């Protein structure tokens, strides 16, 4: 099978991660944490996830002209993601995410978007045809709108973080991916088009819909949880890859759910992303 060509239009960040026993509430200081630095950003995470799972992947994004850019792109370069579409921003720094993770793997994230906020439609329009396009909303909606014009068989949007988006853009997507919070934000607008809608439900698994009707529900896989950062991005990259390969919706959802489950068993967003071999081996143990 020829590897699907998947173009990801989205964000690149450097993740600064503090792991502590508990997460702070408003006004509270939590001490005794450990610190690590990892490449991140929803776009970069999803591009790397798709690449490790078997895609011929490329990335369109903006980074600053700073030391953080090299660190943020390190794993994408190492794993062979095509970075021809990366633009160096002259005005803003590389995006940074401040992440706190507790002993149960739950997290709190604050993102300083930096150069991500400057990704433009003209940056995107240079892209050639591909098998699938995957976007998120950590970059301007204008860039996502431009991505919808790329010649492709599968145009997908992970509607995260939830924010206003043109109804026409939602209707144009072949696949929308949301969690429960995002699904509540968009409501029935998710189902106005003819494409698939994937809803992740945390411990209750994931569901695929078409035209508002449930196609398949996948229960969650039971795994030890170390860090949930990046699990949703892994699910997105895996689902788009599986559909681009021609897997039917049920198979694709199972594959994506397994990949997302494996991502929570390790620390960090990009360091935790599983390979195709790991996902297939895991699925064999699940019957």
**Which residues lie below 8 Å from residue 166, measured CB to CB, with a gap of 6+?**
141, 145
**Can you point out the beta strands (E) in 41-106?**
56-64, 82-89, 95-101
Instruction: Using alpha carbons, list the distances in angstroms from residue 183 to 191, 207, 221, 228.
Output: 10, 12, 22, 19
- Largest Cα span, the chain: 54
| Share of the chain residues as helix, strand and coil, in percent rounded to the nearest 5 | 35, 30, 35
Let me know the angle formed at the C-alpha of 93 by 88 and 97, rounded to the nearest 5 degrees.
115
How is residue 204 annotated by DSSP? G
Distance CA 264, CA 226 (A): 6
Q: Active-site residue among 66, 91, 233, 248?
A: 233
φ/ψ region of 27 (left if φ > 0, alpha if ψ in -120 to 50, else beta) reads: left
- Reduced to 3 states (helix: H, G, I; strand: E, B; else coil), residue 132 is strand
Active site residue 233: yes
The catalytic residues are: 233
């Amino acid at each position: 099978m020829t590897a699907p060509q998947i173009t990801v239009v989205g964000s690149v960040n450097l993740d600064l991660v503090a792991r502590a026993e508990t997460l702070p509430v408003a006004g509270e200081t939590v001490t005794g944490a450990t610190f690590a630095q990892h490449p991140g950003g929803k776009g970069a995470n999803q591009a790397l996830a798709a690449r490790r799972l078997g895609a011929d992947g490329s990335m369109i994004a903006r980074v600053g002209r700073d030391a953080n850019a090299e660190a943020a792109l390190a794993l994408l370069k190492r794993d062979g993601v095509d970075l021809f579409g990366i633009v160096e921003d002259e005005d803003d720094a590389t995006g940074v995410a401040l992440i706190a993770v507790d002993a149960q793997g739950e997290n709190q994230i604050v993102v300083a978007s930096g150069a991500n906020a400057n990704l433009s439609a003209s940056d995107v329009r240079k892209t050639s045809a591909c098998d699938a396009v995957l976007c998120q909303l950590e970059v301007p909606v204008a860039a996502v709108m431009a991505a919808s014009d790329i010649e492709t068989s599968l145009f997908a949007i992970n509607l995260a973080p939830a924010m206003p988006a043109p109804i026409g853009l939602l209707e144009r997507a072949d696949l929308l991916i949301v969690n429960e919070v995002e699904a509540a934000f968009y409501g029935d607008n998710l189902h106005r088009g003819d494409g698939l809608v994937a809803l992740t439900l945390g411990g209750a698994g994931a569901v695929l819909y078409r035209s508002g009707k449930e196609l398949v529900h996948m229960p969650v896989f039971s795994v030890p949880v170390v860090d949930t950062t990046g699990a949703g991005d892994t699910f997105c990259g895996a689902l788009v890859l599986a559909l681009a390969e021609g897997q039917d919706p049920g198979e694709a959802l199972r594959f994506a759910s397994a990949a997302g489950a494996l991502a929570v068993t390790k620390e960090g967003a990009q360091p935790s992303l599983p390979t195709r071999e790991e996902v297939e081996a895991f699925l064999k143990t699940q019957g």
